[in-house]
Amino acid sequence: MKSIHHPEASGDREIARGLFEYLQEQGHQVEILSEFQTPFFFQTGRGWWSFLRSFPKAFWKALTFQPDIFFTYHLYYKAPDPLGLILSTFFRKRYYVFEGMFSEKPRSLTGFKVGYYLTKWSLQRANCVYTDKTDDIEGLLKVLPASRVCYIPPSLNLSVFTDPGKKTSTPQSIQISCISMLRPGRKVDGVKFLIEAIAELQQEMASQQLNFNLKIAGDGPSFEEVKHYAESLLKSRVQLCGALGKEKILELLRSSDLFAFPGIDESFGLVYLEAQSQRLPVIAFKNGGVPDAVEDQVSGVLTPLMEKSAYKKALLELIQNNHLREKMGQQGRLRIEKKFNRQINYKKMDLEK
């Protein structure tokens, strides 16, 4: 993936930054050995050349820095970690993986066999593989003993995502927030689904004059397309905020009454945790890893995939029911504090074994 210092919003980069910060907070000296981006590098000669060019610099950094351990993040067949594999072996140092994944299927896919074997060897070399997705545990156990696999739930730094306290709003002034990368495919499809659902609900409830607005945060190649589409359907009721930094994201969430992002085939969705940390009930699809992040009928409402009538019903219920929003928001905050607290969860990482 791109550098953790890259300004573009990304749940994966946010997790990587959190790991970096946590290790520093624990007194470790952390150094990024390379900015080489591994996705698909093994499929072209140019990619291998880029890897070979990056290796001497990473080797020299490791030689100078003399690390006690090597640590990599987000390892799978499309993005293997040859640098960590080679350097940790050469220097005979412990090697750890966070968010590692393994599947036998890529071995038979054209163009991915090299990525498959590099990933397999890296995982087998690892002292421990930490995963924040329960769905990945079964695959990891095919190449590793259970003693070297550890589940750590996705987590937030609650010193940043502090409790905003009880929210007060009325059914006549409801702000719905949505945060998503605006890139072609499932991200934009999900945002468009939300826009359509709100537009239809607005028409159906015109006689009741419910005042609700939508704010969408995020940027990407489809920004102008989504902006035009949203404004054509919702007029002045929608605002596209573009890319926002962490402080502005917090401001948006704290000023909102509920969070709606359908989440088509989301592996998890860190943004759902961020919304719940700010006492926002969540409306999303019951698919992928979303049910791990949002507890249906407790901290939000999860509806069947692409069923617009069910999604509109959930929107209307939460728009009209202030007590339900407050109750779900409170439950969401409690879930974050108990289950997704970085200061508690990351203590499971044992970098001495």
Q: Is residue 69 part of a domain?
A: yes
Both 148 and 234 in one domain: the answer is: no
Rounded average pLDDT over 70-76: 95
Given 84, 119, 152, the domain boundary residue is 152
pLDDT beyond 90 at 150? yes
pLDDT tens by residue, 10-53: 778 888 999 999 999 999 999 999 999 999 999 999 999 999 99
Q: Is residue 312 part of a domain?
A: yes
Both 124 and 178 in one domain: the answer is: no
Q: Is residue 232 part of a domain?
A: yes
pLDDT tens by residue, 76-96: 999 999 999 999 999 999 999
Q: Band the pLDDT of 3: cuts 50, 70, 90.
A: confident
**For residue 1, what pLDDT is reported?**
64
pLDDT beyond 80 at 169? no
How many structural domains does the chain have?
2
pLDDT beyond 60 at 171? no
Q: Is residue 313 part of a domain?
A: yes
The percentage of residues in the chain with a pLDDT greater than 90, rounded to a whole number, is: 84
pLDDT tens by residue, 251-266: 999 999 999 999 999 8
Both 114 and 250 in one domain: the answer is: no
More confident residue, 30 or 268: 30
Q: Is residue 209 part of a domain?
A: yes
**For residue 193, what pLDDT is reported?**
98
pLDDT beyond 90 at 205? no
Q: Is residue 352 part of a domain?
A: no
**For residue 172, what pLDDT is reported?**
61
Given 118, 152, 186, the domain boundary residue is 152
Rounded average pLDDT over 206-223: 89
Q: What is the CATH number of the domain that holds 79?
A: 3.40.50.2000
Q: Is residue 160 part of a domain?
A: no
Both 229 and 146 in one domain: the answer is: no
Both 250 and 214 in one domain: the answer is: yes
Q: Band the pLDDT of 224: cuts 50, 70, 90.
A: very high
Which residues, 6 or more positions from 63, have their beta carbon under 8 angstroms from its beta carbon? Answer: none
Q: What is the mean pLDDT of the chain?
A: 93
pLDDT beyond 60 at 75? yes
Both 145 and 206 in one domain: the answer is: no
Rounded average pLDDT over 166-187: 84
Both 214 and 250 in one domain: the answer is: yes
Rounded average pLDDT over 259-285: 95
pLDDT tens by residue, 46-55: 999 999 999 9
**For residue 11, what pLDDT is reported?**
76
Both 196 and 311 in one domain: the answer is: yes
Rounded average pLDDT over 190-208: 91
Both 194 and 312 in one domain: the answer is: yes
User: Per-residue b/e over 72-83, b at no fewer than 16 CB within 10 Å?
Assistant: bbbbbbbbbbbb
Segment among 61-65, 166-170, 202-206, 286-290 with least mean pLDDT: 166-170
What is the rounded distance in angstroms from the CA atom of residue 109 to the CA atom of residue 106? 5
**For residue 133, what pLDDT is reported?**
86
**For residue 8, what pLDDT is reported?**
67
Both 140 and 190 in one domain: the answer is: no
Residue pair 11/273 in contact (Cβ under 8 Å)? The answer is no
Scan for tokens 């003399």, then name that residue. Answer: 66
HEC sequence for 134-163: HHHHHHHCCCCCHHHEEECCCCECCCCCCC
Both 320 and 198 in one domain: the answer is: yes
pLDDT beyond 70 at 2? no
**For residue 173, what pLDDT is reported?**
78
Whole-angstrom distance between the N-terminal and C-terminal Cα of the chain? 27
Q: Is residue 162 part of a domain?
A: no
DSSP labels, 92-116: T-EEEEEEE---SGGGGSTT-HHHH
Range of the domain at 62: 31-152
Both 271 and 333 in one domain: the answer is: yes
pLDDT tens by residue, 315-341: 999 999 999 999 999 999 999 999 999
Q: Band the pLDDT of 207: cuts 50, 70, 90.
A: confident
Task: Kindly calculate the radius of gyration of the chain based on its CA atoms and give it in whole angstroms.
Answer: 22
Q: Band the pLDDT of 9: cuts 50, 70, 90.
A: low
pLDDT tens by residue, 225-256: 999 999 999 999 999 999 998 899 999 999 99
